[in-house]
Amino acid sequence: MEKNAVIAIASGKGGTGKTTVAANLAWVIAEQEEAVQYLDCDVEEPNGHIFLKPKINQSEKVKVAVPDVDLEKCIGCGKCGQICQYGAIVSIKEKNVLTFEQLCHSCGGCMRVCPSNAIKSKMLDIGTLDCGKAGNVDFVSGKLQIGSVRTPALIKKVKEQIKENYIAIIDAPPGTSCPVVETLKEADFVLLVTEPTPFGLNDLKLAVDLTREMRLPFAVAINRCGMGDNKVEEYCQNEEIKIVMKLADDRRIAEAYSDGEMIIDVLPEYKKSFIGLYENISRKLKE
């Protein structure tokens, strides 16, 4: 595969197997002696570390800037509140300014428009960033602090760790909202993992709409093949969407998952599925 390729593993529905696919894919790429990174961008509930069992050698707190108002300097003009699109700062007469840190998006607008230079920034913890090694896989994971809603800011920080000359496998959060958009931005390829159920299909359609809107090349992987119905395959056929992997509905895979084990370690017969996936994505990237 091309070095510097950024592959995002996403899905509309949760629990379809993003982490299973991402971790095992990173593992087989490392076995091909390619430089590979696994980045867990599912920062609200990261779980890649359970399977990859990395040794973390660097852990840092991630902070964002929020406004800190000096009421002595405030002239009560209200410009800070007018520019804020999120209601995170509001000036209520007689030099009283309230801030709502959890609503702030750290744009810095209030600080710039303040004519009396009364607003400085202070740092707010939003989570942690862990970097390490899992075998030959370079491992990065973000973990959002409980109560924080600044998911995209932490995801951005995780993605800043993408290294040159590495293939980056990004484990995305589920859904189609801001955290997913932040994760998929600038990806070279998106793999949408789904399952052959009505729920899987419904949420796949949403994810397809999102990747098309973002103009990103993508393909589909179907997990738990053999259960449910054929509607996902019919949909992909009608929409001319390539299915690049089918993983069987095998109880042993679920058992390996429940034990926090890598499929390709416990069930080596599946290794060829992941090598096939790797080759299919490589081919798609060349198109």
Partner 1 sequence: MKIAITSTGKTLDSNVDPRFGRTAYFIIADTETEEFDAIENSNVQASGGAGISSAKVVIDTGAKVVIAGNFGPNAQRTLDAAGVKSYTGVTGTVAEAIELFKSGKLTQATEPNVQSHFGMDS
Query: Which residues here bind partner 1, judged by CB under 8 A?
Result: 81, 84-88, 90, 92-93, 96, 98, 100, 103
Considering the complex, what minimum distance in angstroms separates the CB of residue 59 from partner 1? 31
Nearer to partner 1, 147 or 268 (CB): 147
Q: Which is closer to partner 1, CB of 90 or CB of 248?
A: 90
The CA distance from 215 to 68, in Å, is: 39
Q: For partner 1, which is the closer residue by CB, 78 or 217?
A: 78
CB of 91 to partner 1, least distance (A): 8
The rounded distance, in Å, linking the Cα atoms of 174 and 194 is 11
Nearest to 176 by CA among 39, 14, 38: 14
Cα–Cα distance measured from residue 149 to residue 185, given in angstroms and rounded to the nearest whole number:
19
Nearer to partner 1 by Cβ, of 100 and 257: the residue is: 100
| CA 247 – CA 255 distance, rounded (Å) | 15
- Give least dist CB 92 to partner 1, A: 4
Residue 138, beta-bridge partner list: 37, 133
Residue with Cβ nearer partner 1 (1 or 84): 84
For residue 93, the minimal CB distance to partner 1 (Å) is 7
To the nearest whole angstrom, how small is the minimum distance from the Cβ of residue 67 to partner 1?
14
The per-residue b/e assignment along 112-147, b for 16 or more CB within 10 angstroms, e otherwise, is: eebeeebbeeeebebbbbbbbebeebbbbbbbbbee
